[in-house]
Structures are given as structure tokens and as C-alpha cells.
Amino acid sequence: MHRINDTLSQLQNQIQAAACSSERNANEITLLGVSKKQSDEKLLEAATSGLIDFGENYLQEALAHQKLLADFKLRWHFIGPIQSNKTRAIAEHFDWVHSVDRLKVAQRLSEQRDQNKAPLQVCVQLNLDNEDSKAGVQAKHASELCRQINGLDNIQLRGLMLIPKQRNNYKAQRTIFAQARELMHKINAQNQLNMDTLSMGMSADMDAAIAEGATIVRIGSALFGPRS
Ligand SMILES: *Cc1c(COP(=O)(O)O)cnc(C)c1O
């Protein structure tokens, strides 16, 4: 029982320290444990240790993990690429979706979300490095997409998500995260939106993301160890 429990509290301390050094309140930062390709045993340890937010990339694996942890009161976040034929299951089984990058997917999620449930909490995924092979909307199209998604029923547009390419120095990491933060403020102002969520920062760049305003950090290997 020890390992994940200890790592979880170390990570929470690290979040606290990073928040403190940028004069932020750690309470506004959610640790999202990214549980893809991790063992059932580790997931159970994490839930038992009090982890509430779980992030998943692959639908089938996610559904199996949800079944495994059905006795815990958890929040499930879909953070992987979304194929149109998977939107129904995602709308049914998740609380949050971080990886929306086109209107069609958002429309399907909205139509397929049960109206009796809380609205699906959605982030728009950005591609700020302009890598052709990568998911995410480019900065110049992000404002229009956010405006359109905001008009959909059964969805609450919460903010932006970012998976920047790896940068190995802290300053360069901060620069790209700062761009996401500034873009969110600009899009809010342009469209009179109230987005409040920056889903950014992973195991290798969490501190930089927190310094630039991350409100959800998505941590896989630093919490659960290497993936199988
Ligand atoms: C796998 C993954 C993570 C976690 O990555 P680590 O480097 O293991 O922390 C975070 N976000 C997304 C979108 C991922 O696919």
C-alpha cells in the first residue's frame, strides 16, 4: 500500500510548493492521475489513497478501469484523441473531456449527453507548436471554436488543454504555458466567456505549468511509475 500513497503525498507537496512560489493557492489546482496502461493494483492503491480525478486516453481500457473502481466516488476525465464513433460512450461515461479539437465532436458529445446528468465539462485542446501530426486546434482558430462550443447544450466549456512538445528547460516550458494562459484570457474577452481551466503540465513540466496558471495537472508516470 505504501508506494502510491507516498508518491501521492509527495506530489501534493510539490504542487503546494510550486503554487506557493508563484503566490497561488494550491486549492485551485487539481491533480489528475493519468491511469492509462497502469495495473489494476496501482489504480486501486491510488483510489484507496484518496485520488479522486482519473484521466484516461483509451475508451475500452477506461471502461475497464471504471468498473474496477466502481465502489469509489471518482471523477473521470477523457484526455485522449476522440474518434466520432466513440463520442456516445464518452458522453455517457465521463465527467470531463479535455481533448475536444473540432466542432463536430463537440456537437455529438452535446447531443449524446444525458440531459439529466450534469453538463459534460469540456476543454478545447490547443496545438500551439503547430505540429501537423498533433491533435489540437491552432491558436488562430481557437477563439471561433470556443465561441461555437459555448453555444451547445449539455456541455460546459471550461477552458483549454495543452500537450506541448517536450522542452527540457524550465524557461522554455513556461513560455509555451504562458501562451496558453494569455490565449484563454484573450478568447474570454473576445467572446464574453468565463473559461477558468488550464489543463496543462505533465510529469516532466508540472512546476512550469503551475507557475503559468495551470488548474489541472495531468500526471501519469510520476505518480504511477512507468507504463506497461
Ligand atoms: C499520458 C498522458 C499524460 C501523462 O503523462 P506523464 O508524462 O506520464 O505524466 C498527460 N496528458 C496526456 C494527454 C497524456 O496522454
User: What is the SS3 assignment for the chain?
Assistant: CHHHHHHHHHHHHHHHHHHHHCCCCHHHCEEEEECCCCCHHHHHHHHHCCCCEEEECCHHHHHHHHHHCCCCCCEEEECCCCCHHHHHHHHHHCCEEEEECCHHHHHHHHHHCCCCCCCEEEEEEECCCCCCCCCCECHHHHHHHHHHHHCCCCEEEEEEEECCCCCCCHHHHHHHHHHHHHHHHHHHHHHCCCCCEEECCCCCCHHHHHHCCCCEEEECHHHHCCCC
Ligand 1 contact, 159 CB (< 6 A): no
What is d(CA 220, CA 102) in angstroms, rounded to the nearest whole number? 26
Neighbours of 140 (CB within 10 A): 8
Ligand 1 contact, 219 CB (< 6 A): yes
Tens of pLDDT, residue by residue over 159-208, are: 999 999 999 899 999 999 999 999 999 999 999 999 999 999 999 999 99
Specify the residue with its C-alpha closest to ligand 1, atom 5: 220
Tens of pLDDT, residue by residue over 21-79, are: 999 999 999 999 999 999 999 999 999 999 999 999 999 999 999 999 999 999 999 99
**Atom nearest to 218 CA in ligand 1:** 10
**Atom nearest to 57 CA in ligand 1:** 15
Ligand 1 contact, 90 CB (< 6 A): no
Overall pTM surpassing 0.85 (yes/no): yes
Centre of ligand 1 from the C-alpha of residue 65, in Å: 17
Neighbours of 143 (CB within 10 A): 19
Ligand 1 contact, 218 CB (< 6 A): yes
Which CATH number does 4-218 carry?
3.20.20.10
**Atom nearest to 79 CA in ligand 1:** 13
pLDDT score recorded for residue 130: 85
Residue 1 scores a pLDDT above 50: no
